[in-house]
Amino acid sequence: MRNFLPKISYFWLTLLISLYFTLIVNLPVLLHFYRILHALSAFKIGFALSIPVVLFAALNFVFTPLTFKPIFKPVFIILLLVSALAAYAQGVFNIVFDRGMIQNIAETQQSEATSYLNLSVVAWFTFTGILPALLLLKTPVIYNQTILKRLGVRVLSMLVSLALIGGVAALYYQDYSSVGRNNRTLNLEILPTNYLYSGFQYLNHKYLTEPLPYEKVGTDAALVQKAGQKPTLMFLVIGETGRAQNQSYNGYSRPTNAFTQQTPDMVFFNHVSSCGTATAVSVPCMFSDMKRIDFNNDRAHNSDSFLDIVQRAGVSVFWKDNDEGCKGVCDRVPNVIIDTPKDGKFCDGDTCYDAALLENLDGKIVDDGKNKLIGLHLIGSHGPAYYRRYPDNFRFFTPDCQRSDIENCSHEQLVNTYDNTVRYTDYVLTQVIAKARQYQDKYNVAMIYLSDHGESLGEDGFYLHGTPYSVAPPQQTHVPMMFWLSPQYVQAQGLSLSCLQAQAAKNDYSQDNLFHTVLDAMNVKTSAIDPSLDILQPCRTAQ
């Protein structure tokens, strides 16, 4: 078949690709840059005009070494395809591709990944990824110079790019420096260097770095329980993408906590901050003895979580997961990831409503006289397909957004959909409490609920979660936590419920508190407990 595309020199094709990446692929970062300038009281016109010029020169400098004939087309076809998807994520959801986000992508399950597919993504990917890649594939490229001359042209092109960048820097260094200092994610928004660099960091860290030796924590852990006292049955519920701002307990005007607010003995914590903005960080962090300020994910994955410690002390532990796995914290205790058969009740073949976690759970609560800790990991409010997190009879706030391309829904629809997920989670918590109450004759029962991170719903242009913590909005870091403690549990533990409720309303807490509080709540004593981080300690009336 005859090729009607004109022949083009590798040199000019490199410049065209650099221009395409500047104006089309990197349109989100250019728009972000100009939004920043628009918010300033004054800026230099020359500085504003120089931004795409500098970006073009920088991309040409990076791309030129990749233009040797054997690799030219394969490399840039891949970059065009991947960058198209990345540009969509950045432009629509304000996603930043740091190492943490690459980890989130790598650990995403298939059912979660498919929730991001919609007509908007397909259309964008087709027109900005597939079509340019096909065009490049079919374009005849001319290499009509000697090898040395082509090498010289490449070196000269890179030197000219550097000179151009240097010239702009000489004129506007202070302007670039000021914007960069106040907007530290800008360098992580430039495609494709952002995901290439962060991807290399992730691969190097995961596969090329020698793992830390495994460290046991709380080796002196022992179960200390009064003679004749009933054992404890604790349900530990880890939420997903729940943000505190949308909880009725926090003054939200909508009845998102309509179920638990009718449940006696609830304790809601108004001021709780997360350790991270993504599950891959927050869950290992909240289960470890490290604080957020010094948290190291490598060490967390190679040391005991509090599940290991309570199990070592003699507590029966079981973990059931309806999300994307436990991120290593349950690896050494009995655990199961919920199956998702199309049962017509809770599951559709790809995902399940969280009420499915309570199915077939009684077999794990045998009457053997042991303290028991049951971990339940919710899918909660995981987006962007929020509408798939609650059944039709929980479409309380309408109109809701019955699609995953949330950018095509109104803000009202988006908030309605998210609030429905919060309300359904609240319902599920009451079902967990109802399950616990079934065992009150044999156990002192309780429940702790804590979400892993929050969610952005379009505030300041941010959507979803995973923004670097240093610049993350409070919607992603302010999370709900609540306790339900049965009267028998409160009495056995020597606690004052009114004291806990008063402390929860006024004190600042974080996920740093969970490790120490759960150990104490399960009557496990160890030197690993920091009493200052134990929420229960100040409200004990009988020691």
Residues 434-465 have pLDDT tens digits of 999 999 999 999 999 999 999 999 998 888 99
Question: Tens digit of pLDDT for each residue in 152-207?
Answer: 999 999 999 999 999 999 998 888 877 877 777 788 889 999 999 889 988 888 88
Contacts of 46 (CB under 8 A, 6+ apart): 171, 172
Q: State percent of the chain over pLDDT 70.
A: 98
**Residue 1 pLDDT more than 50?**
no
What pLDDT was estimated at residue 110? Answer: 66
CB 452 within 8 A of CB 292: no
Tell me: do 259 and 189 sit in the same domain: no
pTM, full prediction: 0.83
> Is residue 216, in this structure, part of any structural domain at all?
no
Same domain, 410 and 531: yes
User: Does residue 177 sit in the same domain as residue 104?
Assistant: yes
- Provide the pLDDT for residue 543: 46
- Amino acid letter at 36? I
What contacts 174, CB < 8 A, 6 or more positions away? none
Q: Are residue 177 and residue 259 in the same domain, yes or no?
A: no
Strands (E), 481-533: 481-485, 508-510, 524-525
Helices 27-39, 45-63: inter-axial angle, 10-degree rounding:
160
Residue 393's identity, in one-letter code, is N
Mean pLDDT of the 515-537 span: 97
pLDDT band at 237 (very low <50, low <70, confident <90, very high): very high
What are the Cα distances from residue 184, in Å, to 63, 270, 357, 452? 24, 30, 41, 25
| pLDDT computed for residue 271 by the predictor | 98
Paired sense of beta strands 463-464 and 456-457, if any: antiparallel
If asked whether residues 195 and 313 sit together in one domain, one would say no
CB 87 within 8 A of CB 28: yes
3-state SS class at 23: helix
CA-based angle 393:425:433, to the nearest 5? Answer: 105
Residue 373 has pLDDT above 80, yes or no: yes
Question: What stretches of 371-470 adopt beta strand conformation (E)?
Answer: 372-377, 444-451, 456-457, 463-464
Q: What pLDDT was estimated at residue 526?
A: 97
Task: Print burial letters for 133-159: b (CB count within 10 Å at least 16), e (below 16).
Answer: beebeeeebeeeeeeeebeebbeebbe
Q: Which two tokens stand for residue 134?
A: 């096909």
Which pLDDT belongs to residue 335? Answer: 96
pLDDT band at 2 (very low <50, low <70, confident <90, very high): low
Place of tokens 């290991």: 308
Domain extent, residue 381, equals 233-539
Distance CA 485, CA 488 (A): 8
In a domain, 127, yes or no: yes
Looking at the structure, tell me whether residues 122 and 45 fall in a common domain: yes
Q: How far apart are CA 257 and CA 379, in angstroms?
A: 17
In a domain? residue 316:
yes
Each residue's pLDDT tens digit, 382-437: 989 999 999 999 999 999 999 888 888 999 999 999 999 999 999 999 999 999 99
What 3-state DSSP class applies to 109?
coil
Neighbour-count burial of 69, counting CB atoms closer than 10 A to its CB (0-12 exposed, 13-18 middle, 19+ buried) = exposed
Task: Check if the beta carbon of residue 230 is closer than 8 Å to that of residue 488.
Answer: yes
Q: What proportion of the chain, given as a percentage, has pLDDT over 90?
A: 74
Provide the token pair at 196.
């290439």
- 493 has pLDDT over 80: yes
The pLDDT value recorded for residue 111 is: 65
Q: Is residue 353 part of a domain?
A: yes
Same domain, 398 and 468: yes
**Do 262 and 200 belong together in one domain?**
no
Residues 308-316 have a mean pLDDT of 97
Q: What are the C-alpha distances in Å from 372 to residues 304, 429, 527?
A: 18, 18, 21
Give the three-state DSSP class for 378: coil
State whether residue 239 is helix, strand or coil. Answer: strand
| Res. 299 pLDDT band, cuts 50 70 90 | very high
Question: Do the domain assignments include residue 519?
Answer: yes
Which CATH number covers residue 464?
3.40.720.10
Length of the chain: 543
Question: The sheet that has 335-337: what strands, in order across it?
Answer: 266-269, 481-485, 444-451, 232-239, 372-377, 316-321, 335-337
Both 267 and 148 in one domain: the answer is: no
79 and 119 in a single domain? The answer is: yes
Helices within 322-473 (DSSP H only): 411-437
pLDDT, position 428: 98
Determine the average pLDDT of the residues in 220-242. 93
Q: What is the mean pLDDT of the chain?
A: 92
Same domain for 272 and 182, yes or no, is no
* Higher-confidence position of 543 and 70: 70
Q: Are the CB atoms for 335 and 319 separated by under 8 Å?
A: yes
Asked, for residue 138, whether it belongs to a domain, the answer is yes
Whether 171 maps to a domain, the answer reads: yes
Would residue 1 count as lying in a domain? no
Q: What DSSP element (H or E) covers 196? A: helix 193-203
- Count of structural domains within the chain: 2
One domain for residues 192 and 253? no
Per-residue model confidence as pLDDT tens digits over 94-142: 888 888 888 878 877 666 667 677 888 899 999 999 999 999 999 999 9
